[in-house]
Structure 1
């Protein structure tokens, strides 16, 4: 490849990156999430990773079963952690699914269901593969069911709230509103993951791995939606999100001076 061809190639790549910045960013998150998950999964079996997990848990709970901080912080953490439970997520998913159908967002509704169902399958499959034991029972301030790695709450909350947040950004034209919605989605997933460690339900690496896997899965789904949307822009066939016409505005009589 000549110097001129190389320059032309990089110019073309730069132009594609500028026009497809969202897709490139999503692809980067997918790749980074997968690579980080693999690295964390490797570290958790080594002495350094286990020492880190025990140090974080010991700081969160100086006394086993007694999380650091006032009594109300433990209660608040228990409330927040339930937002990542499968029952709560299923309820929110049904509400969001019906809302999307009413808005004729059929593709988004399908992807939301596939995202959550796929997230459950991914979480349970990885748990069965690694079979890691949870922190000792003395540290667990909430009930737990299955294996520890990765954190199902962290993974599923990241998948659901991030996917929902990305979908909601389409309803807001201004950049700062989009940023607020995405920020709120990430904050919820972050808090849920932190409560799992705080309450002794998971090791810190479990939660970090759950965030990585959840983000990668959510962005992979977004890439599918993006690709389908681009295809629908050319061919208006198949499952897609319809654009509803704006609601008619009722005529209002002019105000009378003196009223």
Structure 2
């Protein structure tokens, strides 16, 4: 079989959805690498400063826009990306899966989230970018700035939980609801980190891209394992 014919045959065997997700993962990883490279070269400074100061009162970088009420709300939102809240929510979903007698899926989910946490710590330790010093920090921070751990773990945890919960639903609208809520929560957490002055915008973008890539990879692996009988199949055959 000639090469073009072999390539065509391979493409037909690989589902369209799988190809799309693989391209999305590749794009997210490329974006993370590009952000990291630009950050190391110092080319993101103007971009980061502009967005960070846009969330502050003109002429007074110590005062976030929106007043005290918005600042309190942002502190509440940023807690949604913290270890305590993510652990509680993860344990709730794991319990849900066990009660549905999907123990293999629960174990897979636990490993996926722990793996994402490990990846977050590994990437953060590989960079030593200082936290923003243009504005006061509204919450305490102790680690380096790049990438945003809250943003990444919010994306990893909420999106991974969403795709696993979506597998228990047969209705497309419910699946879409889970994914949409997860994406919105991850975005809100990232925005709150910039608003509170503890991360540069590019830190958050890097956290989102790497977290999304991880969650998409988990979804692909779950589909394959379900088809091979290693975890429970979804309520509806995976597309």
Aligned to 2:17: 22
Report the secondary structure of 2:105's partner residue: helix
TM-aligned CA deviation for residue 14 of structure 1: 5.2
Looking at structure 2, the residues matched to 142 and 65 of structure 1 have their Cα atoms a distance apart, in angstroms, of: 13
SS for the counterpart of 1:65 is strand
CA distance in structure 1 between the aligned counterparts of 2:113 and 2:5, rounded to whole angstroms: 43
With normalisation by structure 1, the TM-score equals 0.82
- The answer (yes or no) to whether the contact 2:113–2:160 under 8 Å persists in 1 is no
* Aligned partner (choices 84, 91, 101) of residue 88 of structure 2: 91
Deviations 1:96-140 (A, max 9, x none): 112111112223212221222112211111111111111128421
Alignment counterpart, residue 139 of structure 1, candidates 127, 136, 139? 136
Which residue does 1:241 correspond to in 2? 232
Which residue, 3, 6, 13 being the options, matches 2:4?
Answer: 6
Structure 1 position 51, deviation (Å): 1.2
Structure 1 segments unaligned to the other structure (5+ residues): 233-238, 245-259
Give the aligned partner of residue 104 of structure 2: 107
1:171 aligns to what?
168
> What residue in structure 2 maps to residue 196 of structure 1?
193
2:43 counterpart of 1:48: yes
Match of 1:81 among 72, 75, 78: 78
Q: CA 1:202–1:93 in 2, change beyond 3 Å: closer, same or farther?
A: same
For the aligned residue pairs, the C-alpha RMSD in angstroms reads: 2.2
Q: How many angstroms apart in 2 are the aligned matches of 1:95 and 1:115?
A: 15
Query: Would the aligned equivalents of 2:227 and 2:233 in 1 still touch at CA under 8 Å?
Result: no
TM-score, structure 2 normalization: 0.89
After alignment, is 151-160 or 138-147 more displaced?
Answer: 138-147
- Partners of 1:132 and 1:9 lie apart in 2 by 44
**C-alpha distance in 2 between matches for 1:227 and 1:242:** 10
Deviation at 1:8, TM superposition (A): 7.3
Paired residue total: 233
Corresponding position of 1:218: 215
CA distance in 1 between partners of 2:234 and 2:11 (Å)? 31
In structure 2, relative to structure 1, the CA distance for the partners of 1:180 and 1:112 (3 Å cut) is same
Q: CA deviation at 1:7?
A: 6.0
